[in-house]
């Protein structure tokens, strides 16, 4: 048997496969199932900023004869969302013995430092910040938007003792530069990449509808390219692959590209804990056949700095590959 253990964000994990944040990781029977299947850590469903802000906005939109009662309700509802979340963290911690990573889904600096402290007190072993806002202001500078990310990360990581990972989307001009700045602002890890809900258009009914929330098994190549590049250019930060991790082969590809862990979401919805146990069996088979004893024996072996022709990661124009066809 190979040794599948890894160190992610300073946490000792028995395997590199994580259950990604989703509705499944808010269910105690499912997290127990994932632990039995060999998961390395659980990333709990996110506490969403909207859960807190929208309730407050709804209240503000109502007319109140007694403003102080609105204030009270506002405080009560907000605290209720947070308390429910803290209870969830405590329950998940009680259910599994693997590390439990809480998740906050936010788009502004807000009061996250306060919530982060409470999450730490509830027993979370780490915190994943999923920061995203869809920029709609044509006058706003990209630099200013990126600064907001660094601000949140810096404030939150300074205020708590548990490690912070940042889950990012892929829409940044300079991904290695952005990750390097996240690291400089206190992030111990980066999750690449979040997969966003996308609108699609129904041409028969002439309406917008949400595209599939689940990824397809071949949806991992963009993530693989950036894993290979970022792991080489930004050493000293743990990278976790997200999107399209449907089987052990893709987990192995991401580790070869430099990932420390790989997070499964769609695969868990489709196959449950079997997705994890099958991937672990594939990892063991691969390591036995290649003579690798530990994950560190092959982690990053095919990243941007370790291959003979790094331009294979750089090639983005069809001209170069298909120019003569
Ligand atoms: C139903 C569903 C719920 C999700 N909920 C969250 C969430 O609460 N927080 C979060 O950071 N990501 C959430 N995600 C995103 C996943 O964690 C993951 O990053 C994304 O689905 C890509 O991984 P996959 O290809 O394995 O599905 C959710 C995804 C799905 C499909």
Residue 193: inside a domain, yes or no?
yes
Structure tokens that stand for 1 in this block: 């048997």
pLDDT on residue 107? 75
CATH number of the domain within which 276 lies: 3.20.20.70
User: Is the distance from CB of 58 to CB of 73 less than 8 angstroms?
Assistant: no
Q: For the chain, give the secondary structure using H, E and C.
A: CCECCEEECCEEECCCEEECCCHHHHCHHHHHHHHHHCCCEEECCCEEHHHHHHHHHHHHHCCCCCHHHHHHHHHHHHHHHHHHHHHHHHHHHHHCCCCEEEEEEECCCCCHHHHHHHHHHCCCCEEEEEECCCCCCCCCCHHHHHHHHHHHHHHHHHHCCCCEEEEECCCCCCHHHHHHHHHHCCCCEEEECCCCCCEEEECCCCEEEECCCCCCCCCCHHHHHHHHHHHHHCCCCEEEEECCCCCHHHHHHHHHHCCCEEEECHHHHHHCCHHHHHHHHHHHHHHHHHCCCEHHHCCCCCCCCCCCCCHHHHCCCHHHHHCCC
In this structure, are strands 207-210 and 189-192 parallel, antiparallel, or unpaired?
A: unpaired
238 alpha carbon – ligand 1 mean position (Å)? 20
Q: Which range marks the domain in which residue 197 is found?
A: 6-322
Dihedral angle sign, alpha carbons of residues 274, 280, 283, 284:
negative
39 alpha carbon – ligand 1 mean position (Å)? 16
pTM of the model: 0.92
- In the block, residue with structure tokens 């998961």: 39
Q: What is the pLDDT along the chain (325 residues), one digit of tens a residue?
A: 799 999 999 999 999 999 999 999 999 999 999 999 999 999 999 998 766 655 555 555 555 555 566 665 566 667 788 999 999 999 999 999 999 999 998 877 667 788 899 999 999 999 999 988 788 999 999 999 999 999 999 999 999 999 999 999 999 999 999 999 999 999 999 999 999 989 999 999 999 999 999 999 999 999 999 999 999 999 999 999 999 999 999 999 999 999 999 999 999 999 999 999 999 999 999 999 999 999 999 999 999 999 988 888 887 776 656 666 6
pLDDT on residue 80? 83
Residue 1: inside a domain, yes or no?
no
195 alpha carbon – ligand 1 mean position (Å)? 7
Strand partners, 18: 41, 263
7 alpha carbon – ligand 1 mean position (Å)? 23
Residue 272: inside a domain, yes or no?
yes
Ligand 1 atom closest to the Cα of residue 220 is 25
pLDDT on residue 60? 55
Structure tokens that stand for 155 in this block: 């404030």
Q: Give the total number of structural domains in the chain.
A: 1
Residue 43: inside a domain, yes or no?
yes
Peptide bond into 283 cis (omega under 30): no
Residue nearest (by alpha carbon) to ligand 1 atom 22: 243
Ligand 1 atom closest to the Cα of residue 245 is 26
Residue 258: inside a domain, yes or no?
yes
């Amino acid at each position: 048997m190979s040794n599948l253990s890894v160190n992610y964000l300073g946490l000792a994990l028995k395997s590199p496969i994580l259950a990604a944040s989703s509705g499944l990781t808010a269910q105690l029977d499912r997290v127990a199932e994932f632990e039995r299947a060999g998961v390395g850590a659980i990333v709990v469903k996110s506490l969403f900023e909207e859960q807190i802000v929208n309730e407050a906005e709804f209240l503000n939109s109502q007319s109140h004869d007694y403003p102080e009662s609105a204030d009270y309700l506002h405080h009560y509802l907000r605290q209720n969302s947070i308390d429910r979340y803290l209870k969830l963290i405590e329950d998940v911690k009680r259910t599994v013995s693997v590390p439990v990573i809480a998740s906050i889904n936010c788009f502004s600096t807000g009061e996250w430092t306060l919530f982060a402290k409470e999450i730490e007190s509830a027993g979370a072993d780490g915190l994943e910040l999923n920061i995203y806002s869809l920029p709609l202001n044509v006058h706003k500078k990209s630099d200013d938007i990126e600064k907001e990310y660094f601000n949140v990360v810096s404030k939150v990581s300074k205020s708590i003792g548990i490690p912070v990972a940042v889950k990012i989307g892929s829409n940044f001009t300079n991904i290695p530069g952005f990750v390097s700045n996240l690291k400089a602002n206190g992030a111990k890890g980066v999750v690449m990449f979040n997969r966003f809900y996308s609108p699609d258009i129904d041409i028969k009914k002439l309406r917008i509808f949400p595209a599939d929330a689940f990824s397809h098994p071949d949806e991992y190549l963009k993530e693989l390219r950036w894993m290979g590049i970022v792991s080489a250019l930004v050493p000293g930060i743990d990278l976790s692959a997200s999107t399209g991790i449907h089987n052990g082969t893709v987990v192995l590809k991401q580790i070869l590209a430099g990932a420390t862990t790989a997070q499964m979401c769609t695969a868990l919805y489709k196959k449950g804990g079997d997705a994890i146990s099958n991937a672990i069996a594939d990892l063991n088979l691969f390591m036995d056949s290649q003579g690798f004893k530990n994950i560190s024996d092959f982690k990053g072996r095919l990243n941007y700095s370790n291959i003979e022709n790094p331009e294979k990661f750089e090639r983005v124009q069809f001209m170069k590959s298909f120019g003569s066809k």
